[in-house]
Structure 1
Amino acid sequence: MDITTIVILVVVALILVYGISIYNRLVALKHNVDEAWSNIDVLLKQRYEELPKLVETCKQYMSYEQEVLEKVTALRNEAETARRDGDVGEVNRTEGALGLAVTGLLARAEAYPDLKAAESFRQLLGRISALEESISDRREFYNEAVNINNIRREQFPDMLVAKPFGFGAKPLFEAEPEATKNVDMKALFGA
């Protein structure tokens, strides 16, 4: 074997090892995104389990707010279906609407002093608030993992490995436009 053949084999081996290294990093990033979504998924599931309890507690006191309670229940069911399907875009949409509906429910609960004083309501409210904070934290972690994944798959030379092996872009978990608007407190309180 002459020196040229050896040099070519060494260069090919180095390129192959580098390509494998890139592939393995992309796999790790993909799994980081999946893990981050799984963490959100667990918290969303817990919250979806708590919301019917909150609605049931509110029903005992809020006899005139049936429409609000039904809206929260329907949106919770839509969000649960989207979560089970792993559809990040649909989860974004339903979560935004559900968040607004729950905010409206809680604002209307202000008009019911017996409800606000009920221990079960306070416990559920505390649990849901804690879950909301955890979801927010996990959403940041998820979006960071997605950002890193999406940047790496577009950078050279990673893009040479990402495209042929099907490493696609992942969607960010963003707030829906309705969730970022100022809340009309008069409308929430029916004033």
Structure 2
Amino acid sequence: MDFKKFLPWIIAAVVVFGIYGWVKGINNTAVTYEQDIHEAWGNVQTSYQRRNDLIGNLVNTVKGAADFEKSTLTAVISARAKATSVTVDPTNISPEQLAAFNSAQSGVSSSLSRLLVSVEKYPDLKANENFLKLQDELASTENQILTARTRFNEAVKPYNTHIKTFPNSIFAGMFGFKEKPYFEASTGADKPVEVKF
């Protein structure tokens, strides 16, 4: 049997399998990175959900202080409702969706800060054991949110790098992989907080 006759076919088969393996590697790596982003986004949502649950308990505790400013409580309740209504699909997350989510969560943080500053005028409420416990849990949750957002950005970076690097970018576009946005600081976060008493 003449081996030279089959040599071009063997070389072609090796090249085809090599290209197949390379393209498959590009796709599967992007899928793996995208799943990491989904997991990280789930952790972000879990942290924000914990904060929203705690805010409900905090509001109920503060309502017990009969003469507490109702407008402050209403602002917190309204911001919380708005924040829970903003949903983001991690498979098609866009900068606009993330900005809307960030804006809504920023509204919660802002109204919550005003609530906690208002509490300073109510010595009985400040000494309330349930309130103090909730305040500690909220502080812990804010740290969890920061960590979850940081890990989300850490998951986005290798994915974006992988799909934007040439020649991966050619195949990533063909497979429908799109760049994911990063979490950014809320508008005005670069300015120092002004505390008034």
Alpha-carbon distance change, 62 to 166 in structure 1, aligned in 2, over 3 angstroms:
farther
* Correspondence 1:144 to 2:154: yes
Q: Over residues 67-107 of structure 1, what are the superposed CA-to-partner deviations in whole Å (9 max), with x where a residue is unaligned?
A: 11111111111111114766433221111121111111111
List aligned pairs for 1:107-146, cutoff 5 A. 107-146=117-156
Q: Over residues 11-31 of structure 1, what are the superposed CA-to-partner deviations in whole Å (9 max), with x where a residue is unaligned?
A: 121011011011110000000
Aligned residues: 187
TM-score by length of 1: 0.90
Q: What amino acid sits opposite 1:173 in the alignment?
A: F
The equivalent position to 2:74 in structure 1, one of 58, 70, 75, is 70
Contact 2:88 2:101 in 1 (8 A): no
CA deviation after TM superposition for structure 1 residue 169, in Å: 1.5
Uncovered stretches (5+) of structure 1, i.e. residues with no partner = none
* Correspondence 1:59 to 2:63: yes
Alpha-carbon distance change, 125 to 85 in structure 1, aligned in 2, over 3 angstroms:
farther
Q: Counterpart in 1 of 2:114? A: 104
TM-score by length of 2: 0.88
The equivalent position to 1:14 in structure 2, one of 15, 18, 41, is 18
Q: Counterpart in 1 of 2:83? A: 79
Q: What amino acid sits opposite 2:9 in the alignment?
A: T
Q: Counterpart in 1 of 2:40? A: 36
Q: Which has the larger radius of gyration?
A: 2
CA RMSD of aligned residues (A): 1.7
Q: Counterpart in 1 of 2:93? A: none
The equivalent position to 2:52 in structure 1, one of 48, 56, 59, is 48
Q: SS at the partner of 1:40?
A: helix
Identical-residue share of aligned pairs (%): 32
CA deviation after TM superposition for structure 1 residue 153, in Å: 0.9
Contact 2:44 2:145 in 1 (8 A): yes
Alpha-carbon distance change, 62 to 172 in structure 1, aligned in 2, over 3 angstroms:
farther
Contact 2:54 2:138 in 1 (8 A): yes
The equivalent position to 1:171 in structure 2, one of 181, 184, 187, is 181
Q: What amino acid sits opposite 1:44 in the alignment?
A: Y
Q: SS at the partner of 2:112?
A: helix
